Amino acid sequence: MTTLTPTKEILPPPTERITILGWMKKNLFGSIGDTILTFAAGAFLVWLVYSIGHWIFFSAQWAAVTDNVHLFMKGQYPGSEDWRLWLLLYLLGLVVGLSWGIFLKRAETVGWVLLIVPIVLAVWIWSLGRQSWMNLLLIDVLAIVGYFLGKRYPKQLARPTYIMILLYMPLVILLVRGFGENGFLKLVTTNLWGGLLLSLLLAVFGIVFSFPFGVLLALGRQSKLPALKTLSVIYIEVIRGVPLITLLFMGQLMLPFFLPSGIIIDRVIRATVAIIMFAAAYMAENVRGGLQSIPKGQYEAADALGLNGFQKMTFIILPQALRAVIPVLVGQFIGLFKDTSLVALVGLLDLLGIARGVLANPNYIGRQLEVFAFIALIYWVFSYGMSYGSRRLEIALGVGER
Amino acid sequence: MSNENKNLSGDPIIKCQDVHKWYGNFHVLRGINMDVQKGEVVVIFGPSGSGKSTFIRCINRLEEHQKGHIIVDGIELSHDVRNIAAIRKEVGMVFQQFNLFPHLTVMQNITLGPIYVRKWDKQKAEEIAMQLLERVGIPEQAHKYPGQLSGGQQQRVAIARALAMQPKIMLFDEPTSALDPEMIKEVLEVMEELAASGMTMLVVTHEMGFARAVADTMYFFDEGQIVESGTPEEVFLNPQEDRTKLFLSQILQH
């Protein structure tokens, strides 16, 4: 008869030493089929990298891009007013640095600021002369200073940082647009805005305004008031049934017919409103998905505590619902950023509009590949940045929960 | 600890008269009459689907009754939103599934109601929250998230959260049914201490040991009606109705 002897010591998990050769044998050359696949894929990769590299460094003629980098970056925005854009970028560096230091306490994110930001901005170096090195350096230094300040004094700086974030958007409008005929901050009309500047403005305003609008629509759709509910449903379903380009055309071409004569709404504003209206309908459906994922017990617990409807939504339901749909929302933000390129079709000179303009210049005939590769790279950098940021945000918000 | 030292006469704090409720065509509550005195501990038991949970959820209007009167602390529950808000301030509730807010720390869970409903300042709310966490035996968990606690600890936080509003009445909706056996005891101990402190409690539970120890009055629900009521001695030792005898024999067997 055997008895079970209880194990006295607590055993460590078995360790497995993985060598590079062992890993290769297991994952690359496990069988004949694997080996063939490994060589085939390897050969294909080498060929691909060689072809692309050869094209970038030897065949491609980058003059269409390098001659016009300032156009790609800011359109016809007057050079004398460049300092206004730089000022905004300094502030952005500072705010981003501060937020990182205060809200995300991971050292690795410094690496992000140190490495990626200068690389992203490196394209500016060509366009804006030697002085831009100093500007870039200053943005970087401000971001790093902000990071360490935020890390050192998170309590004291949290409120000023929030205020700066809130004031940043109005400040963007004030500085980019300006006012008055001439003088210190003279008006730069929107037909001079272009390139990445315009694309980013459309995307940022689209995101910032469509988000609360979408949340309200989602709440409206769940509302117990029939009128509110019906209106929300009609809005969402009508907008979702129409392509964005149609909304843009209606805004640019049809809206003027309906407005009383004498009232002219700026073209950029019309495009922005069309983008916001379009994005909000999709946002609403994504947020609704989040709202539906919240168990009934959360509503009941909030009710039982005596919270009113507004408090229940603000403190209990929305924080959880929105956190649940961060990946979806960021996916939508990325889509929205890329969709702003449609404004080129209604005659605005965003990144794509500038690209089309440059290609229309007889000096750069046949340089489509270079130009489109360049703007694709810009779109990719920003989209990937958003994607990366969302993953960090999820990690930061997910700590210790559920 | 039972009913000897309590004065259970006078004006009841909860008055229910002929309460009816339907889910569609299904008649869940069929004329419930119940008076609860201040400081009384009421245990409600009965088979599942008998309407006992629905009934106590009517008392803070998580469910709406369609006929009859429910008067809590002198305020009648009606469609008037102000009445509902006033009653919810005075009635705390503990749920079977805890229903803690997973995105808030234990401390934030407890102080949310006092800060936004009672309008206390944060410092006062946090002091009282710490006292309550000590009372339920887990002061060291104040800054963790609910997901980091065991079920028993979560339910004790839920009790502290309800108590932080300084309610006059506490409702417990099967508070131990979702717990592992070894955690039931720690929650029941907190509830026994609360009963001893003179809190008015309505408890839906199958924990007959708890009922025997602390209940002043027990109500047996079946098919939306009160079949039998009385002190624990009366109900356990001398049940009058066959339905009660059968149910008790089933749940006391093991």
Residue A399: which pLDDT band, with cuts at 50, 70 and 90? Answer: very low
Q: What is the mean pLDDT of chain B?
A: 92
Residues of A in contact with B62 (CB under 8 A): 300, 303-304
| C-alpha count within 13 angstroms, C-beta hemisphere, residue A212 | 4
Per-residue model confidence (pLDDT) at position A63: 87
Which residue in A has a C-alpha nearest to residue B110's C-alpha? A305
| C-alpha count within 13 angstroms, C-beta hemisphere, residue A7 | 4
Write the pLDDT tens digit of every residue in B10-32. 789 999 999 999 999 999 999 99
Per-residue model confidence (pLDDT) at position B175: 95
Q: Do B117 and A305 touch (CB under 8 A)?
A: yes
CB atoms within 10 A of CB A289: 14
Per-residue model confidence (pLDDT) at position A400: 41
Per-residue model confidence (pLDDT) at position A183: 73
Q: Do A297 and B101 touch (CB under 8 A)?
A: no
Per-residue model confidence (pLDDT) at position A108: 60
Residues of A in contact with B88 (CB under 8 A): 303-306
Check pLDDT > 90 for residue B217. yes
Write the DSSP assignment of B158-211 as a string of letters: HHHHHHHT--SEEEEESTTTTS-HHHHHHHHHHHHHHHHTT-EEEEE---HHHH
Give me the percent of chain B exceeding a pLDDT of 90. 89
How far is residue A127's CA from residue A142's CA, in Å, rounded to a whole number?
22
Write the pLDDT tens digit of every residue in B230-250. 999 999 999 999 999 999 998
Residues of B in contact with A401 (CB under 8 A): 102-103, 145, 147
Check pLDDT > 60 for residue A82. yes
Residue A264: which pLDDT band, with cuts at 50, 70 and 90? Answer: confident
Q: Do A307 and B112 touch (CB under 8 A)?
A: yes
Write the pLDDT tens digit of every residue in A331-366. 999 999 999 999 999 989 999 999 999 999 999 988
* Start-end of H helices in A262-399: 267-292, 296-305, 309-311, 318-324, 326-339, 351-360, 368-398
Of the two residues B116 and A65, the one the predictor is more confident about is B116
* A150 to chain B, closest Cα gap in Å: 23
How far is residue A69's CA from residue A371's CA, in Å, rounded to a whole number?
10
Residues of B in contact with A311 (CB under 8 A): 116-117
Query: Which of A293, A298, A305, A316 best tests the B interface by mutation, with the highest count of B CBs <10 A?
Result: A305
B174: region left, alpha or beta (phi > 0 left; psi from -120 to 50 alpha): left
Dihedrals phi, psi of B40, to nearest 5 degrees: -80, 140
Q: What is the mean pLDDT of chain A?
A: 86
Per-residue model confidence (pLDDT) at position A259: 77
The b-or-e profile of A162-175 (16+ CB within 10 A means b, else e) is eebeeeeeeebeeb
Q: Which residues contact A170 (CB under 8 A, 6 or more apart)?
A: none
Q: The CATH number of A193-360 is which of 1.10.10.60, 1.10.375.10, 3.30.300.30, 1.10.3720.10?
A: 1.10.3720.10
Check pLDDT > 70 for residue B128. yes
Per-residue model confidence (pLDDT) at position B84: 92
* A110 to chain B, closest Cα gap in Å: 27
Q: Do B117 and A297 touch (CB under 8 A)?
A: no
How far is residue B117's CA from residue A307's CA, in Å, rounded to a whole number?
6
For the segment A380-389, the average pLDDT, to the nearest whole number, is 88
Residue A120: which pLDDT band, with cuts at 50, 70 and 90? Answer: low
Give contacts of A 285-344 with B, CB under 8 A: 295, 297-298, 300-308, 311, 315-316, 319-320, 323
Per-residue model confidence (pLDDT) at position A96: 86
Sheet-wide strand order for B67-72? B26-36, B14-23, B67-72, B75-76
For the segment A12-28, the average pLDDT, to the nearest whole number, is 79
Of the two residues A187 and B92, the one the predictor is more confident about is B92
How far is residue A96's CA from residue B105's CA, in Å, rounded to a whole number?
27
Q: Which residues pair with A178 in a beta bridge?
A: none
Check pLDDT > 70 for residue A130. no
For the segment A202-229, the average pLDDT, to the nearest whole number, is 94
Name the residue facing B99 among A301, A306, A311 (closest C-beta): A301
* Start-end of H helices in chain B: 52-59, 81-90, 106-116, 122-135, 151-164, 181-196, 208-214, 232-237, 242-252
One-letter amino acid of A311:
Q
| Sign, CA torsion A88/A89/A91/A92 | positive
Check pLDDT > 60 for residue A401. no
Residue B230, classed as helix, strand or coil, is strand
Is residue B10 within 8 angstroms of chain A, CB to CB? no
Find where tokens 């508070």 sit.
B175
CB atoms within 10 A of CB B251: 12
**DSSP annotation of A350:** B
Name the residue facing A306 among B85, B97, B103 (closest C-beta): B85
Which residue in B has a C-alpha nearest to residue A317's C-alpha? B101
> How many H helices and E strands in chain B?
9, 10
Write the pLDDT tens digit of every residue in B168-208. 999 999 999 999 988 999 999 999 999 999 999 999 999 99
Check pLDDT > 90 for residue A218. yes
Residues of A in contact with B95 (CB under 8 A): 297, 300-301, 304
Residue A281: which pLDDT band, with cuts at 50, 70 and 90? Answer: very high
Check pLDDT > 50 for residue B1. no
Give me the percent of chain A exceeding a pLDDT of 70. 89
Per-residue model confidence (pLDDT) at position B158: 97
Find where tokens 């469609």 sit.
B79
Residue A21: which pLDDT band, with cuts at 50, 70 and 90? Answer: confident
Find the angle CA(A366)-CA(A379)-CA(A162) to the nearest 5 degrees: 150
Which residue in B has a C-alpha nearest to residue A401's C-alpha? B147
CA dihedral A163, A272, A238, A338 (to 10 degrees): -90
Per-residue model confidence (pLDDT) at position B33: 95
Residue B134: which pLDDT band, with cuts at 50, 70 and 90? Answer: very high
Contact, A397 vs A91, CB < 8 A? no
The ipTM, to two decimals, is: 0.93
Contact, A210 vs A275, CB < 8 A? yes
One-letter amino acid of A233:
V
For the segment A241-270, the average pLDDT, to the nearest whole number, is 85
Confidence (pTM): 0.83
* B102 to chain A, closest Cα gap in Å: 6
Q: Do B62 and A304 touch (CB under 8 A)?
A: yes
Q: Which residues contact A138 (CB under 8 A, 6 or more apart)?
A: A90, A93
Residue A6: which pLDDT band, with cuts at 50, 70 and 90? Answer: low
Check pLDDT > 90 for residue B69. yes
Q: Which residues pair with B218 in a beta bridge?
A: B43, B230
Write the pLDDT tens digit of every residue in B143-178. 999 999 999 999 999 999 999 999 999 999 999 999
Write the pLDDT tens digit of every residue in A369-378. 999 999 999 9
Q: Do B85 and A301 touch (CB under 8 A)?
A: no
Check pLDDT > 80 for residue A178. yes
Integer-rounded Cα Rg, in Å, for chain A is: 26
Per-residue model confidence (pLDDT) at position A105: 60
Which residue in B has a C-alpha nearest to residue A310's C-alpha? B116
Q: Do A306 and B145 touch (CB under 8 A)?
A: no
Residue A284: which pLDDT band, with cuts at 50, 70 and 90? Answer: very high
Per-residue model confidence (pLDDT) at position A122: 59
Q: Do A297 and B99 touch (CB under 8 A)?
A: yes
How far is residue B42's CA from residue B49's CA, in Å, rounded to a whole number?
19
Check pLDDT > 90 for residue B72. yes
Residue B2: which pLDDT band, with cuts at 50, 70 and 90? Answer: very low
For the segment A297-316, the average pLDDT, to the nearest whole number, is 95
Check pLDDT > 60 for residue A2. no
Q: Do B101 and A304 touch (CB under 8 A)?
A: no
| C-alpha count within 13 angstroms, C-beta hemisphere, residue A282 | 19
